[in-house]
Structure 1
């Protein structure tokens, strides 16, 4: 029998609702941070993947980098309980800068060089004999496992196309210094993504738009087109992010949630405040906008001076704020992959007004699960229409929750990933060599 759902607490993943796997394996995971605390979307994904693999009975060897983000004793104990090995190598800013310079001489993207760590690579090479499969999360960790295949099956979880991501950032950046930096990174990452996939059994990507971008670059460079793609989106904890029937939404209220130092979120909310919010406020003077998230940059903090706008900074539980919103917004225009906030909003049964880009990696049905608008006047019009029609807003939110329950749980995505991992193991299996974990 599966366990009853236990919501996440203390910044830990909740229990996975899965039975032990009939066939077990051992996996090495290379990651450029520590999975806990879950302050970023990538940390959330890796932590939940570890939770899933452990619940299924697989052996997890985690090779991460200690970048100085502190873990609580509870979080440290959780990792040790769910992994059979936790190997975290120190990786400070000085080491990162040296790695970035070294990487440039090899033609690596800055984000790959920044996380180069010889001690981590050596530890992984030494431990590979004890696992059945290697899994690199993000291209930032790809170099640690690039030589594994075809000796053992290996996955590179790109998740999103950084080529698409940086190209969009360059198009939207206003700051000249940052625009030039991402222009350089865009050139480097395009060359890297077109080649690195060939050194792995599988490339994990979130959406068709990410695959299309990499295939186009391969054609542009007269290289073989990427052909080892497995679609592996993120999920959400539907016990933590769930409708709160006891909470009445504040009329005419909006919420935006995200890490407020990342460019995609900063651009999204400043664009909304400049071009959409005045239109909403003019038509509905009582409208309010709550901007929720950690590490707000100065330009985001300044938005709190606008009429009806509140910038909270970091909060203990974003779900508390989402639950009180009449509408959630995601006006992101740069970026790639998928928007975790979209799935969290949906899981809480909230109507969402978002851009087409925000929905790219999710595939929600426009008009049913989400309301899409890309121009300021269109977005303001859709928000005001939902303000004036609470019944329709509730219907969209209810449909969004059902959509997430059917398609966007961590368990659903990871069960498919596990199946693909077993297929990759079988493709290279030596029938005379036992698994690193027996059945």
Structure 2
């Protein structure tokens, strides 16, 4: 199987091309994480619109195949990978310990990246400096101290990391992890309440993330964030298509996502412990597929028990999603938006999700079933397994919604408009 590449965007060239410095904290391939998917597809969009992009990223968290590097070189004017040795990451963690910044910010500090950006921005090379995720925010120069004029900076915070870390802490049972997330949430709260003021715009997924940061601003005695724009992301509705009858497996329930990501781990374990026994009792041949890369030992130990299958990395996540009768997203933690939920809906699947899972997407009530209590989740899944026609009808409404409102192009065009608005100093 060849190296996976982002889709070609269905857009016309922009009337006003921009010069953009794009900053990221890890390699954008192999597109196994939600942020890798988003970054690689945003690069594809910017290239299709004719914008000039210099891509600066740390050489962490991925692997770029030759075909993918060739694609990057075509999509961007320059591509710069910055080594992040383990000793540098360790020193960054130590620095974070003594300065009070979030550990993730210390971990990804790179002086060379920051120096190159300051030089390029100072030389007037860019209209927009776009930083994806909080962790590389120190690399963007403070506009008030920059000699260059007229450029604007965007911090794609996406989700409130404070909200995310706090929820992980509240649902974590491992003592060491609870301690870590307790202190990291406090550090993130102090940081998020302040860092937004350094940027022209802060990009957030939805109202819950805005509300969480506003609350932290009040707690910290800081002005409330007022420069946010919504910047959700979409999915490839051409790749994630409804299933044929031959692809579907009766009584199959699927949960998809990286099984190295703590909120996904918590969700899978909670669902197996609190919901799955009732489902299996009502539908004895029900099968639960946990699909996702790098499953941790706690997840691996579930394999083979009570109809549970743990797949690990698969070549095509869409194939397993299409095979499901019902897809489930029982998130207890996390913030922002859930790529898996949009992928389920694009595939026309009947979906049962918690309110947290639907927080960033805000899908209408007629396109999925929202439930938070174990009994309600179990009952909803049992009813859908027993009534395939109802499951099919729900899935059709979900597909129509995803196709209309959640393409990559729609949300990236909104972000691009925010770029233009910021350069004209209008819109918040």
TM-score with structure 2 setting the length: 0.96
Partner of 2:41: 48
Structure 1 residues not aligned, in runs of 5+: 1-7, 429-439
Give a deviation string over 1:152-199, Cα, whole Å, max 9, x none. 210000000001001101100000000000111001000000000001
1:175 counterpart residue number: 174
Q: Which runs of 4+ in 1 moved over 2 A?
A: 103-107, 148-152, 244-248
- Could you tell me which residue of structure 2 aligns to residue 3 of structure 1? none
Tell me what 2:88 maps to. 95
The equivalent of 1:160 in structure 2 is: 159
Alignment of 1:202-213 (within 5 A): 202-213=201-212
SS in 2 for 1:310: strand
Which residue of 370, 373, 392 corresponds with 1:372? 370
Change (3 A) 1:146 1:169: farther
Partner of 1:431: none
* CA displacement, residues 195-225 of structure 1 (integer Å, 9 cap, x when unaligned): 0000101000001011001101111122100
Are the aligned partners of 2:27 and 2:61 in contact in 1 as well (CA < 8 Å)? no
Pair 330,68 (structure 1): closer, same or farther in 2 beyond 3 Å = closer
Moved more, 126-135 or 409-418: 126-135
Q: C-alpha distance in 2, partners of 1:130/1:157?
A: 20
Q: Is the 8 A contact 1:67 1:92 kept in 2?
A: no
CA distance in 2, matches of 1:168, 1:208: 17
Give yes or no for the alignment of 1:66 onto 2:56. Answer: no
Is the counterpart of residue 119 in structure 1 residue 112 in structure 2?
yes
One of 5, 14, 19 as aligned partner of 1:26: 19
- In the TM superposition, residue 39 of structure 1 has moved relative to its aligned partner by 1.6
Cα deviation, residue 265, structure 1? 0.4
How big is the shift at 1:426? Answer: 2.2
Alpha-carbon shift at residue 290 of structure 1 (Å) = 0.9
TM-score, L = length of structure 1 = 0.93
Aligned with 1:420: secondary structure? Answer: helix
RMSD: 1.4
* 3-state SS in 1 of match to 2:222: coil
Match of 1:200 in 2: 199
Distance in 1 between the 2:240 and 2:219 partners? 42
- Contact residue 15 and residue 51 of structure 1 kept, 8 A: yes
CA distance in structure 2 between the partners assigned to 1:220 and 1:213 by the alignment: 11
Unmatched segments (≥5 aa) in structure 2: none
Structure 1 equivalent of residue 283 of structure 2: 284
- Residue 63 of structure 1 aligns to a residue whose secondary structure is strand
Match of 2:3 among 10, 17, 20: 10
Number of residue pairs matched? 420
Specify the alignment match of 1:131 in structure 2.
Answer: 126
